Structure 1
Amino acid sequence: MAKATTTGAEGSALLRWIATSGLLLVVAVPCLFIIIQAIFPDIGSGSLAAPFSLFFRTLSDPDLFGLAGNTLLLGVGTVFFAALFAVPLAALRALFKVPGAIIWDALLLIPFMIPPYIAALGWIMTLQPHGYMEQVTGINLAGLIFSVPGIMIIMGLNTFSVVYFVLSRTFETIGARYSDVGRVFGAGQWRSFWRITFPLAMPGLAASLLLVFAMSIEEYGTPAALGRRIGFDVLVTGIENRISEWPIDLPGSATLSLVLVGMALVAFMIQRWLLTRRDYRIVSGKPQASDKRALGLWAVPVSLYFGFITFLATGLPILAILATALSRTISGGLTAENMGMDNFNELLGKGSEGLVALGNSLALGVSTALLAGLLGAITAYSVVKGRGRFRLVLDALSITPNSLPGVVVAVGIILAWNQPWLPITPYNTPFILLLAYICILLPQPVRYATASLHQLGDNLESAARVSGSGPLKAFIRIIFPLILPSMVTSMILVFAVASRELVASLLVAPIGFQTIAVYIWTQFDQGSAGLGMAMAFCAIMITTLIPLGLIGLLRWLSKGQVAGLN
């Protein structure tokens, strides 16, 4: 018994050691070096002299106020347009019988799966002078897309599906019963909705809009593709400029990174303040009717409205991407003679740069999914099943990347692993990209594993220990197989995002090493829009259809196993 106890303690300690070492390497070290570099500007040369000298100089730089103001303006504007698109759709979807509701849900999920920078490039090809819209309709809307409101509208179309899905489920939970009570007391239908139903949905609205704000202030591709043409720089592009343009300003980029993180944290605090001011509890132990009302004569206008927003968010960007990918030359326009598979043939030709980039991204995506999934499962197990206060530290480290924009993670990775005094470093190798991807995406498998572990009782491990197994063997033979379906789902999502990640790829990719995102960005910079869009179309197919297909297959297999047991 003493030997079994010793083995169990060693196995538990090993899992905790793996989780701690992994989180320190992937998360803590980059975050720490951002802070150190901001405070000690000469840390790269091993000097701790003149602390805070460049930190306060950067904070007092007039350019910083412009970057921060533009970032805040972009975040708030994107939130406004995302809410403008999402709230009416969500209310209609939840409270009324919308024709083809399931189909609309599937179509409105696609904008979230399309990388924002690819959608932005599609909009450029559509609305630029002599673009597709002008060729088809004669209307020139270049003034709209190359403007600050235009950037906000495009980013709102890229992110509104987050608000739509959260808010529609929230409205569905509330139902129409509270609004009916208001109507009994003399309020009209619209007044009952805005004074009763809508305020009760504030938790879902605040959470989803906070996510949209965080996504918009950390988004690099759309501001870089559109904002730079009109001189609209934000913190993300400012950080990238300080790293990629001479003279390199590492302390300045670290300071701007801290400002960006602080802005995200302030938004989170505002959300918490809004949600603690009132009581939003609406679910009790009593059964609640959830009947939806018929639209009647409004069924056709509502369907047309859903179709219009779906076309703007999903159809138009994909059509623009495909049209550009099939065009032999951009100047040839939308003519039958100018269409062909030339770009796809060149992209996927044997030994082509595009095929190499595609293989690099797929290899990195699979590696990131496997390693992040394994580390996430071990971390979640150490947090949920572990003891002591140290598990709270692990939990905090595991969710820290949620508050770190991708550009901040990239800066931290560069600062941590580009130090001249390091005897060995993954910098300027593909492994540096792997570290960046794992850091950015680690919270996904951790949250999935945590949710699954909370559903498992302690009796399974207790039975294993009675049989002589330690925590390590019980985790490998019992716990991990039980949480594997959830982990596979999270790893599929990690693969989809890692395969197309842009900002970390641009900043930390080794010289000459191309990924899908780097290839697309480079082709547009070089004027080869057709090749770039051919790769973009392939990326959308890979990162949308394959994950959705695998998730559907996984659910089908799970149902088959349950049916077999019955």
Structure 2
Amino acid sequence: MTTDVATRDATTDDVVIDQTPAPGRGASPIAFARRFKRQLPWLALTVLVGGLVLLPVVPLQQKAFADGAAGLRGVLELDGVGKMFATTLVLGVGSLIVALIVGTGLALCMHATSPRTRKYLAFMPVLPMIIPGVAHVVGFVFLFSPENGYVNTLLRATPFFDGDAGPINVYSEFWIIVYTGIHLAAFVYLFVYAGLRNLGGDYALAARVNGAGPLRILLTVTLPLLRPVFVYAGVVCFLLALGQFTGPLILGRREGLDVITVRMFELSAQYPIDYSVVAALGTPLMVLALVMVMVQRGLIGKQDRFVGTVSAASPASTSRWGNIGATLVVLLFTVLSALAPLVALAFVALSPFWSGSVSFDALTTQNFSSVFQDRVFVESIFNSTFASVTAVAIVLPLGTLIALGIYNRDRLWRPLSVILDVLANIPLTMPGALLGFGFLFAYSNPSIGLYATKTGLILAYVTIMVPYAVRYQLATLVALGRTTVESSRVSGAGPLRTFIRVILPLGRAGMASSAAIMFVLLIHEFGVSLLIRSAEVNVMSVALFEQYDAGGYPQVAVIAIAMTAITAIGVFLALLFGGSRALEKL
């Protein structure tokens, strides 16, 4: 069997076909060596990526199964292990249900608005994802704490509620599920809204012509065609909910809510750390992630069955009152999920202390002065910014190379492209707490010696951003198409010249947008940072958590606002380079 490769004859300027036999199928040793030499860079890239993403995973899992699976036996001996797994599952399923209902409702409402309204509101349901996770949780504490929460204080002032606490207890299991579901609803919204736009209006119009009403069209046409979207969004949100760390850690400890990720963190506070038990705790989450991916493929099946028709035909116009109602739903969600927590943070930051009463007489900026005079916090700003910018500068070209290998899989040995694809997605399926323990275990090894160093923090950030970098650059390459690249190659340009003169200029906006978004994600990062931080190397999200644990609530609010402001800069850059749809990459 031969492999046809198009080349250019330098003397005749004609394109000729090289029919060199493929490696292992009758190829001569010289031809095989020549082809192997061309694959060497991709082989080296695969080894590099494998070492990067497997470093925090494989050694830790080996520890779990060492000594006759002593780690697994240790898990079974933990106090309340059955309840812990049950609570983790309940949190995951409950949050998934809330996220699917709220996110789908938001997408349908947005799709029902007029094009002019949609232009200004489409990004609003994504705002909860922009607020740093730790700051977002603390904002909800200030709103819904049973004793001092502003919303609870307001509700108790009405004739319907009385007492000294409640009626909402943000620390309870039910409200943690509600909070997590609302936070994840933005993910569902992005998937479903993009799916609705891609469907077009032909099928809905045909159903309406045949006498179907709006509800019947929704249930029998729109939702069935969105089945792949729901499956993919459901799997992603379920895995994110199971691996939630920030919400259960900050909200759940007061009521004794015990989930896998929080128990892993608590075990890290015990000395010496039993890495085998910690690794074994994360093993079920890894196995479940693999199972869910296989279930996802089985549920979707042949995806061509669900492809809609994108055409000039737009969905039936919504009535004026329908447009107003849909707009109000989106605005109400935005106010409750994003604006209200930010207002609560700002008010606490300007108050001498946090109480349930709202008084403007004692407002002060003293908290801002004290926080920004704190050397530890100022250093955490520098560490967060420096580590995030450096990690983005490293992972952006690395992700571009991986995306090029996956996109041009026909030019690579088949195993290399498949392995690259799998390796690049491994960090995305791992809970942040488990990855953090993996880095802690690996960096603590004297032969590596990266614990408590900025280099270790940057390397960890690069690793967790690999899936995002690959996803964004692959989307950019797909948008460019093969025609432009192939035209460059046929015109005599080599791979490097084609990349510099064609791919880089045309994909510059997409790359800049993805860089800004990855910066935002890294400024938010908490799970990995909390487990590998030290007194010398700390970041803003961890500084906020430590201040919250110490009870300095006004200082917590100031740090949260500072994180949000830095995040806003990254979002502004993303919008500047990538337009309003850049936020969909979050």
The normalised TM-score by structure 1 is 0.86
Distance 1:55 1:486, change over 3 A: same
Correspondence 1:370 to 2:393:
yes
Show the counterpart of 2:545.
521
Distance apart, 1:240 and its partner CA: 1.4
Distance apart, 1:132 and its partner CA: 1.4
Distance 1:484 1:299, change over 3 A: closer
Q: 1:416 aligns with which of 442, 460, 471?
A: 442
Q: Per-residue CA shift, 1:531-550, capped at 9, x if unaligned?
A: 1111111111211x212322
State the alpha-carbon separation in 1 of the partners of residues 420 and 303 from structure 2.
32
State the alpha-carbon separation in 1 of the partners of residues 522 and 303 from structure 2.
39
Show the counterpart of 2:143.
126
Would you say the 8 A contact 2:171–2:251 is kept in 1? yes
Correspondence 1:394 to 2:458:
no
Aligned residues: percent identity? 24
Correspondence 1:65 to 2:82:
yes
Would you say the 8 A contact 2:64–2:276 is kept in 1? yes
State the alpha-carbon separation in 2 of the partners of residues 395 and 435 from structure 1.
20
Distance apart, 1:367 and its partner CA: 0.7
State the one-letter code of the partner of 1:371.
I
State the one-letter code of the partner of 1:493.
I
Distance 1:130 1:412, change over 3 A: closer
State the one-letter code of the partner of 2:430.
L
**SS class of match (1:232):** coil
Would you say the 8 A contact 1:98–1:303 is kept in 2? no
State the one-letter code of the partner of 2:288.
M
Q: Per-residue CA shift, 1:37-85, capped at 9, x if unaligned?
A: 1112xxxxxxxxx232332442575743322222221111111111222
State the one-letter code of the partner of 1:138.
R
Show the counterpart of 2:528.
504
Would you say the 8 A contact 1:452–1:486 is kept in 2? yes
Distance 1:231 1:325, change over 3 A: same
Q: 1:24 aligns with which of 41, 50, 61?
A: 50
- Aligned counterparts, 1:78-477, within 5 A: 78-97=95-114, 100-128=117-145, 129-138=147-156, 141=166, 143-174=168-199, 177-179=202-204, 181-182=206-207, 187-276=212-301, 280-284=305-309, 287=311, 289-331=313-355, 333-349=357-373, 352-385=375-408, 386-388=411-413, 389-420=415-446, 422=447, 424-454=448-478, 455-456=481-482, 457-461=485-489, 463=491, 475=499
Show the counterpart of 1:39.
65
Distance 1:475 1:91, change over 3 A: closer
Distance apart, 1:232 and its partner CA: 1.4
Distance apart, 1:104 and its partner CA: 2.4
Show the counterpart of 1:45.
none
Q: Per-residue CA shift, 1:67-119, capped at 9, x if unaligned?
A: 22222211111111112222222122224437732332232221111123321
Distance 1:141 1:271, change over 3 A: farther
Which has the higher mean CA deviation after the structures are superposed, 118-127 or 193-202? 193-202
Distance 1:60 1:336, change over 3 A: closer
Distance 1:189 1:551, change over 3 A: closer
State the alpha-carbon separation in 2 of the partners of residues 555 and 301 from structure 1.
30
Unaligned runs of 5+ in 1: 41-49, 557-566
Distance apart, 1:22 and its partner CA: 3.0
Unaligned runs of 5+ in 2: 1-6, 11-29, 158-164, 580-586
Residues paired across the two proteins, number:
536
Q: Per-residue CA shift, 1:359-417, capped at 9, x if unaligned?
A: 11000110110111122122233444452122322222112111112112112212222
**SS class of match (1:330):** coil
Distance apart, 1:482 and its partner CA: 4.8
Which has the higher mean CA deviation after the structures are superposed, 402-411 or 272-281? 272-281
Q: Per-residue CA shift, 1:142-174, capped at 9, x if unaligned?
A: 543122120111112212122122212323343
Distance apart, 1:21 and its partner CA: 4.5
Q: Per-residue CA shift, 1:304-362, capped at 9, x if unaligned?
A: 3222222111111111111111112224842123212212222223x632221111100
State the alpha-carbon separation in 2 of the partners of residues 453 and 171 from structure 1.
23
**SS class of match (2:358):** coil
Q: Per-residue CA shift, 1:200-229, capped at 9, x if unaligned?
A: 222212222222222222221101111111
Would you say the 8 A contact 1:85–1:160 is kept in 2? yes
Structure with the largest fraction of helix: 1
Distance 1:137 1:546, change over 3 A: same
State the alpha-carbon separation in 1 of the partners of residues 477 and 219 from structure 2.
40
State the one-letter code of the partner of 2:42.
R
Show the counterpart of 2:93.
76
Would you say the 8 A contact 2:99–2:188 is kept in 1? yes
**SS class of match (1:20):** helix
Would you say the 8 A contact 2:371–2:559 is kept in 1? yes
Distance apart, 1:528 and its partner CA: 0.8
Would you say the 8 A contact 2:84–2:258 is kept in 1? yes
